[in-house]
Each structure stands twice: as structure tokens, then as C-alpha cells.
Amino acid sequence: MMINKTRILNEFIELVSVPCPSKDEKAEADLLVQKLQAMGLEVKVDDAGRKIGGTTGNVWAFLSGNVEGAAGLFFEAHMDSVPPTTGTKVVLRDGVLYSDGTTTLGGDDKVGIAAVLEAVRAVQEQNIPHGDIQLCFTIAEEIGCLGVVNLDPKDIRADLGYCLDIGGAPGIVTNSAPRLFDIYFTVKGKSAHAGIEPEKGINAIMLAAKALTALPAYGRLDEETTLNIGQIEGGAATNIVAEQAKFVIDMRCMDPDKLERLKNETIRCIREVVEAGGGILEVDPVEGCPAVHVAEDHTAVLLAKQAADNLQLPFELTKTGGCSDGNFLCGYGLPCVLLATGMNKVHTTEECLRECDLYDCARWVTEIIRITGEK
């Protein structure tokens, strides 16, 4: 099975040339809708854009399978790119794609989109038997995965998913990314004049400091767990015993249940110290994202491995400490792993992409679809 290199290269350049900042992806979405309709897919744009004040929603497309019993596949990539992203001019030098140095390339994440479009075309043109294929191109990933957060999970019609949005050469799969909590703590003490009657006050800053130093550990707690105190503020003036102090803890763990225990244990520890010192503690845990926690022997991993092996792309299973759309897809109950696309030096004007990685990424997706259709 073959892909059309000239076509995908031109299409990648076309896709990154359209301005596509977060929350203003309409031009790109319109172009994709037009392409997907021309390919004969069932296409829709959802209302996530309306919910976040953007110019368009997520673009969805569906191709019914022609093999009974084959797993339904879901491929996802985000449309938006980080600034400066408008006016991208692609320069091809020694087999590597760059911008002209004034913008990001936008390979994050247009390489994912281009690869998926090319793969579906290759499957259609070569009459490769396949199961259901669903595509979802999201908005506003770069500003907190807002597109995926605001999609309707009922729109997902697939058994397993691939999010094409990590660096490294095609063949690399991430099956593990942390669940994340941001826990907002407010310590309330009692104000008093610092010089005249400090003994009548309860210093919230000191209580917060005591509570934080009582934590058993911070930073990297173990191979799969981290805990960071990233923000702290408190007090109203130098001559007042501080009435209030606030801090935020970011904690992440690949194992969702373990993170739940760490969260409860951390809150308990801080509460104990604050209350022993006569303060009051308010806690607001906000779940930042669910975990990617797909077993090594899950079909989603095995298909990606088999496809990589067939194409002689070096397969590697990795973990990441970061969050992506894939986390939220997993949270919706879709077993979803991340596929490496070759994107490099992302979020900088030096962003680049090897031409061969663009092609390999498309071949990999095509092969995943092909072998899924064999089962």
C-alpha cells in the first residue's frame, strides 16, 4: 500500500499556510470540511467553538467500514498552532521543512491532520478493506485542550483511538500520561495589628508555611508521580498579622487511583497542621485532566506496534508527564494512545519536520487502518 508523497507534501504546506491561531480556526476548519466532503466522508462541525467563544467548532468526519467486526478507529489531531502562526511560508531544505523563521511551522499539529487525510485517501483509492474510521480535528488545544474538553462524548463512535500529537519519529507510541489535579488551598487565620497586639492574631502565612514543610516530599515523588507547589500568596500589609494565605499544588500521576490517594493524603496532612494552629482550611481540587492509562497489551498499542513493525519503523513505548487531547479522550472512555509524528522544536520559530517523517506518519496510519481491516 502506497501513499502519494507529492500530494501529502503539498497538502501539508497548504494546511500550515492557512492562519490558525487558537479560537480562530475557522479558515482551516472550512478548508478541512471541504476536503473531507470531497473525499465522501460524513462531516460535521460541533458547537465547541460557541462554548469557548471561538470562530469554529471541532471538525468531525466519519467513514463507514466495509469489513464486519473490525474495530472502529478514531484519529485525532488539533487544528490550532501557537503564535506567531499567521503568514507561514514553508521552506524545504535538505529534506527538512521549516518556516521562513518568522513564524512557527505549524507541524504541531498539521502533520497529524495531513497524515490522516492522506491515509484515508490511500485506503479509499486502493480499495483497502477497513472498519469504521472516525476523524476529529480539534480547536484550541494549545490553550488548555478546550476543543476536546467541550466536545460531546456521545459523538465518539469508535472502539479505540490515536491522538497524533507528540514529537519523536513515527513508530513511537505513548500509552501513559498523568492524571492531573490542581488543588487550590486557602488558609484562614485571624488579623491583628502586628505591633500593638500580634498575640491576638493567627498568622495564615506561617500556618501555610508550616503545613507545606510538613509534606513528606515534593518534586518527583516516584517514577510516575510529581507534586509541585507552584503558586503562593498571602497577607494584606506588613503591619497586619496575615489573615489569609493561598497556594496551589499541581500533582500528577500515571495511576489515577494512586493520585486520588495522594490528593486525599496531602489535603489531610495540610488540614491537620492548619487546624492545630487554630486556622481554617478551604480546599478546592480541580481535575486538570484524566490519565492516559492504556495497557501495553491493549489492541490500540498492539495495532500501532504491528503496523510499525510491518513498515520497519522502530517501535518504542513511552510515557509523558504532559497533558494532551488524548488525556481527555481517555477520560471519555475511549482507549487512546499518542502517536509520534516527527514534529520537532515545537512552539518555536525553529520548528521543523523531516519530510520522511511526514510520509512515515501517513504510511503508519494507513497501515494501522489496513491491518485493523484484516481482523
What does the binding site for Zn ion look like in residue numbers (CB under 5 A)? 108-109, 165
Residue 374 annotated in active site: no
Angle between helices 107-125 and 26-38 (to 10 degrees): 10
Q: Which residues contact 102 (CB under 8 A, 6 or more apart)?
A: 84, 87, 349
Q: How many other C-beta atoms are found inside a 10 Å radius of the C-beta of residue 34?
A: 11
* Cell numbers given for 252: 500528577
List phi, psi (to 5°) of 103.
-135, 170
Residue 262 DSSP label:
H
Closer to Zn ion by CB, 97 or 371: give it.
Answer: 97
In the set 141, 351, 357, 367, the catalytic residue is 141
Closer to Zn ion by CB, 117 or 249: give it.
Answer: 117
Contact (CB, 8 A) for 80 and 87: no
Contact (CB, 8 A) for 269 and 208: no
Residue 70 DSSP label:
P
* Cell numbers given for 115: 497524515
Shortest separation between residue 146's beta carbon and Zn ion, angstroms = 13
Closer to Zn ion by CB, 204 or 338: give it.
Answer: 338
Name the 3-class secondary structure at 176. Answer: strand
Residue 316 annotated in active site: no
List phi, psi (to 5°) of 354.
-75, 135
- Of 122, 169, 110, the C-alpha closest to 369 is 122
Contact (CB, 8 A) for 142 and 81: yes
Shortest separation between residue 325's beta carbon and Zn ion, angstroms = 8
Shortest separation between residue 74's beta carbon and Zn ion, angstroms = 17
- Taking the C-alpha atoms of residue 29 and residue 336, their distance in angstroms, rounded to an integer, is 23
* Cell numbers given for 276: 492545630
In DSSP notation, 303-337 reads HHHHHHHHTTPPPEEEE-SS--HHHHHHHTT--EE
Shortest separation between residue 34's beta carbon and Zn ion, angstroms = 23
Shortest separation between residue 77's beta carbon and Zn ion, angstroms = 8
Shortest separation between residue 100's beta carbon and Zn ion, angstroms = 21
Shortest separation between residue 310's beta carbon and Zn ion, angstroms = 26
- Of 171, 166, 172, 163, the C-alpha closest to 335 is 163
Residue 120 DSSP label:
H
In the set 11, 25, 76, 80, the catalytic residue is 80
Closer to Zn ion by CB, 109 or 243: give it.
Answer: 109
Closer to Zn ion by CB, 220 or 319: give it.
Answer: 319
Contact (CB, 8 A) for 198 and 268: no
Contact (CB, 8 A) for 136 and 117: no
Beta pairing class for 160-166 and 73-78: parallel
Closer to Zn ion by CB, 109 or 118: give it.
Answer: 109
Closer to Zn ion by CB, 147 or 335: give it.
Answer: 147
Active site residues: 80, 141
